[in-house]
């Protein structure tokens, strides 16, 4: 019997969770200023939310966790990606009738795919994603890319580049599909099983093959740009002009098709060029989708665009560039209990300090003062309060500033005020008085 986590999953332990909290905090800050609102969809959906028609994607054909309810024909699937569920919710709740379209939404949560686990690729992984549904404009394509680019730039990531392509409109893709079928028809029998399936379902997906990508027939493949109609060309040119205007660097990759069949027009990937990332270098990726809302019963022609960012992979990218998200984890106050008879008073002091907003802890194991001071060091506590049996009689406790080593006697009913004063003085010491609006003195100190 195994009591380990299933393959492809992980525990996020208490000593690791602070960087996840920091990421989530930054996500909410950025989505707020871009005026995106959070949406939360179920962790599982009816299977046909993801398995739509003759879908050629690996996700649908090989990677979904699908199960059937006992004594029922209902088929459900654990959420493998976020876009489909958001589009389904958009239609089900008639958000297309809202006065102020487009709807700008974001989500943060787990996704499930049965993939071969490796660095940066888990079977349960967490994504931050954005979806903008209800309008079609090159400016929205630029805005969504800019949100993600601004986010990773604010984190300090530098070894990044944007790969971008267009799949054009329905007519352009139909012409390109025929060209690809003609191009591959004499070689498809010698290609991998997935490529043979893709040849019949959606030959564009052959361009994404990781097995046959070195074949000569793949190197000589026709370019999508040669099959775009004027409308699609103009749309893509406006997207690139918008990226230029915002100073976002990019490379046009004419073989970029993305892994899901619902994409139209703009598709993109933001990848790390840092060697430490290995094969899983994509940090976030997405594109425009024109038919998804209509598939779920919404208005015809209502378009959307979005992307998803893998948080596990983002953390790997940060580590590869030596970027730490959080400062040293520390306590504000540690209260040492020096006698079992003082435990009730210690609990009262701890509770008062927590109510005042100070991160506080104490000992529950009746350890020696020496052992408790070792915890003060390990927890990087800024203040230590010592309460023993004699302190109960005097009605006061010793309060020690760990940094300055200064120790004072403080009455129990004045401890919160004393801690307020200590932390207030610490803030004043680091406050610059030069009067400059954008002062750098604090950093220089």
Same domain, 63 and 158: yes
Let me know whether 253 and 349 are in one domain. no
**What CATH number is attached to the domain comprising 114?**
3.30.930.10
Q: What is the pLDDT of residues 218-243, one digit of tens each?
A: 888 888 889 999 999 999 999 999 99
Residue 16 has pLDDT above 70, yes or no: yes
306/258 same-domain check:
yes
DSSP H or E run through 190:
none
Write out the binding residues for L-histidine.
Answer: 81-83, 113, 127, 131, 258, 262-263
% of the chain with per-residue pLDDT over 90: 69
Mean pLDDT for the stretch of residues 362-391: 96
Start-end of H helices in 63-212: 83-92, 138-154, 170-184, 193-201
Q: Identify the CATH number of the domain in which residue 354 sits.
A: 3.40.50.800
In a domain, 199, yes or no: no
Say yes or no: 124 and 154 in one domain.
yes
Sign of CA dihedral 177, 183, 185, 188: negative
Domain shared by 140 and 288, yes or no: yes
As a whole number of angstroms, the distance between CA 76 and CA 88 comes to 15
Residue 98: name the closest of 307, 302, 305 by CA.
302
Band (pLDDT 50/70/90 cuts) for residue 193 is confident
Q: What is the mean pLDDT of residues 130-138?
A: 97
CA 173, CA 24: separation in Å to the nearest integer?
A: 38
Residue 56 and residue 93 share a domain = yes
Q: Is residue 43 part of a domain?
A: yes
Residues 347 and 384 in one domain: yes
Distance from C-alpha of 188 to C-alpha of 300, rounded to nearest angstrom: 36
Query: Mean pLDDT throughout 169-175?
Result: 89
Residue 223: inside a domain:
no
Q: Give the helix/strand (H/E) hosting 26.
A: helix 17-33
Is residue 5 a part of any domain in this protein? no
Q: Angle at Cα 266 formed by Cα 260 and Cα 270, nearest 5°?
A: 75
**258 shares a domain with 391:** no
Which ranges of 168-301 does DSSP label H, i.e. alpha helix? 170-184, 193-201, 216-219, 230-246, 292-295
Q: Are 236 and 266 in contact (CB under 8 A)?
A: yes
Residues 236, 150 within the same domain: yes
Domain assignment of residue 387, given as a range: 331-423
How confident is the model over 304-355, as pLDDT tens digits? 999 999 999 999 999 999 999 887 789 999 999 999 999 999 999 999 999 9
How many domains does the chain contain in total? 2
Domain co-membership, 24 together with 108: yes
Q: Is residue 40 part of a domain?
A: yes
Burial (CB count within 10 angstroms: exposed 0-12, middle 13-18, buried 19+), residue 357: exposed
Residue 292 lies in a domain: yes
pTM of the entire structure?
0.83
Q: Which residues are annotated as a binding site?
A: 81-83, 113, 127, 131, 258, 262-263
- List Cβ neighbours of 331 (8 Å cut-off, separation of 6 or more): 359, 360, 361, 379, 380, 381, 382
Q: Would residue 161 count as lying in a domain? A: yes
- Please indicate, yes or no, whether residues 343 and 315 belong to a single structural domain of this protein: no
pLDDT digits (tens, 9 = 90+) for 395-442: 999 999 999 999 999 999 999 999 999 998 766 554 444 544 444 444
Q: Do residues 306 and 254 both lie within one domain? A: yes
For 352-363, the pLDDT digits (tens) are 999 999 999 999
Residue 137 located in a structural domain: yes
């Amino acid at each position: 019997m195994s009591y380990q986590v299933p393959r492809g999953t992980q525990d996020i332990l208490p000593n690791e969770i602070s960087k996840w909290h920091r990421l989530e905090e930054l996500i909410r800050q950025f989505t707020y200023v871009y005026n995106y609102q959070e949406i939360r969809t179920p962790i599982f959906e009816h299977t046909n939310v993801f398995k739509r028609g003759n879908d050629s994607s690996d996700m649908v054909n090989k990677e979904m966790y699908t199960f059937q309810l006992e004594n029922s024909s209902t088929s459900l699937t654990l959420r493998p990606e976020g876009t489909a569920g958001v589009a389904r919710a958009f239609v089900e709740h008639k958000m297309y009738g809202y006065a102020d379209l487009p709807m700008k939404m974001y989500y943060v949560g787990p996704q499930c795919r049965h993939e071969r686990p490796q660095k940066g690729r888990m079977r349960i992984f967490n994504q931050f994603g954005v979806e903008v549904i209800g309008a079609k404009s090159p400016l929205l394509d630029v805005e969504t890319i800019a949100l993600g680019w601004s986010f990773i730039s604010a984190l300090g990531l530098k070894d990044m580049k944007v790969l971008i392509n267009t799949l054009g409109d329905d007519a352009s893709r139909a012409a390109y599909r025929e060209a690809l079928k003609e191009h591959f028809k004499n070689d498809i029998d010698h290609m991998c099983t997935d490529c043979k399936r893709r040849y019949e379902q959606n030959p564009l997906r052959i361009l994404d093959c990781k097995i046959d990508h070195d074949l000569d027939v793949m190197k000589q493949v026709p370019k999508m740009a040669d099959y775009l109609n004027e409308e699609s060309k103009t749309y893509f040119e406006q997207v690139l002009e918008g990226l230029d205007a915002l100073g976002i660097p990019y490379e046009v990759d004419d073989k970029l098709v993305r892994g899901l069949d619902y994409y139209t027009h703009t598709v993109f990937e933001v990848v790390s060029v840092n060697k430490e990332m290995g094969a899983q270098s994509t940090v976030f990726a997405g594109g425009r989708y024109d038919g998804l809302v209509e598939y779920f019963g919404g208005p015809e022609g209502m378009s959307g665009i979005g992307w998803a960012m893998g948080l596990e992979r983002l953390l790997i990218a940060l580590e590869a560039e030596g970027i730490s998200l959080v400062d040293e984890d520390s306590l504000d106050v540690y209260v040492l209990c020096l006698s079992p008879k003082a435990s009730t008073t210690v609990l009262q002091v701890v509770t008062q300090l927590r109510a005042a907003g100070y991160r506080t802890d104490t000992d529950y194991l009746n350890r020696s003062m020496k052992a408790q001071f070792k915890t003060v060091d390990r927890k990087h506590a800024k203040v230590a309060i010592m309460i023993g049996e004699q302190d109960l009689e005097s009605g006061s406790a010793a309060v020690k500033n760990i940094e300055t080593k200064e120790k004072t006697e403080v009455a129990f009913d004045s401890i919160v005020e004393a801690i307020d004063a200590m932390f207030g003085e610490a803030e004043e010491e680091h406050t610059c008085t030069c009067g400059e609006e954008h002062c750098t003195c604090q950093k220089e100190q």
